[in-house]
Amino acid sequence: MPYIHLNELKTHYLELNPSGKKTIIMIHGFTGNLAQYYFTIAPKLALSFRVILYDIRGHGKTDMPATNYKVSDFSNDLLLLMFALNIEKAHIVSYSFGGLIALHFALKHPEKIYKLGIIECPNPIGSSSETAEELITALDNHIAQSPENKLTNRFRERNVKLMNNTTATKDIDLDKGISNELLEQLPIPMLIAYGSNSECLDMADRLISHVKNVMLKKIDGDHYLINDTEKMNLIFLELSKFFSEPIYA
């Protein structure tokens, strides 16, 4: 799989269907990697679109710097990735923490996004960030529940290193989230998907209340929809339809 340098950050990425007319960029969650999409919906989306998967900083096979893990850092990496791959504008798909990256990017660079698909974005306002111990437990649950992700002990050890040897958890805790006033300024059509039993439904309520052009799809399940192939197939159908529909002003 190829790498690309975003300034000094050696970034691991994968491109599917390079000749696709429109591009979808997929952003995974904290402690995840691009395999979360590669083994679920990315190949299906690539039947109709050019698809870019990448490991965000500190994750998967991308470099792990000691510092700079604020949402704005991840958002800037996405901008640099688009420049490096000559992507003028794209659809975005994001999961969990990747949803916060996508929202931050959309507010800073709305002209770079056609439509935004968000799966299980958490609500950073009014709740504390997960501790390193909680994130490790969540990672263990991913390994136990989702063979599609192909997570190995090597990736678990790398993620423990991310949380213990970098400023990642500290930097994320410093991010106080996106205000309702900012959400009201988002001009981009948005599809959000949440599990019916998700602990993140308060963020779905915020997005429905404050984003002008948003559709909510509830799927039977919890926050870890991405671990279930059948549930991700349902999300694929919704995203495929959403991205194929015309954009109205």
The CATH number for 49's domain is 3.40.50.1820
CB 32 within 8 A of CB 142: yes
Dihedral sign for Cα atoms in the order 231, 233, 237, 238: positive
How many whole angstroms separate alpha carbon 84 and alpha carbon 122? Answer: 29
In a domain, residue 64? The reply is yes
Mean of all residue pLDDT scores within the chain: 89
In a domain, residue 118? The reply is yes
**pTM as predicted:** 0.91
Residue 102 phi, psi dihedral angles, 5° rounding: -65, -40
In a domain, residue 213? The reply is yes
- Domains held by the chain: number: 1
Q: How far is it between the farthest Cα atoms of the chain? A: 48
Instruction: Kindly state the helix (H) or strand (E) to which residue 99 belongs, with its residue range.
Output: helix 97-108
In a domain, residue 140? The reply is yes
In a domain, residue 129? The reply is yes
- The mean pLDDT of 169-197, rounded to a whole number, is 88
Range of lowest pLDDT (80-89, 99-108, 152-161):
152-161
pLDDT tens figures, 88-147: 999 999 999 999 999 999 999 999 999 999 999 998 765 444 444 455 555 555 554 544
- The mean pLDDT of 154-162, rounded to a whole number, is 80
Range of lowest pLDDT (87-96, 144-153, 187-196, 222-231):
144-153
Distance of CA 226 to the CA centre of its chain: 11
pLDDT tens figures, 26-39: 999 998 999 999 99
Domain that holds residue 48: 3-244
Q: What pLDDT was estimated at residue 169?
A: 84
Query: DSSP E strands: which ranges in the chain?
Result: 3-6, 9-16, 23-27, 50-54, 90-95, 113-119, 190-195, 214-219
In a domain, residue 230? The reply is yes
How many whole angstroms separate alpha carbon 127 and alpha carbon 176? Answer: 9
In a domain, residue 79? The reply is yes
Q: What pLDDT was estimated at residue 128?
A: 42
- Per-residue CA distances from 40 to 32, 35, 95, 152 (Å): 13, 8, 13, 17
In a domain, residue 249? The reply is no
CB 45 within 8 A of CB 239: yes
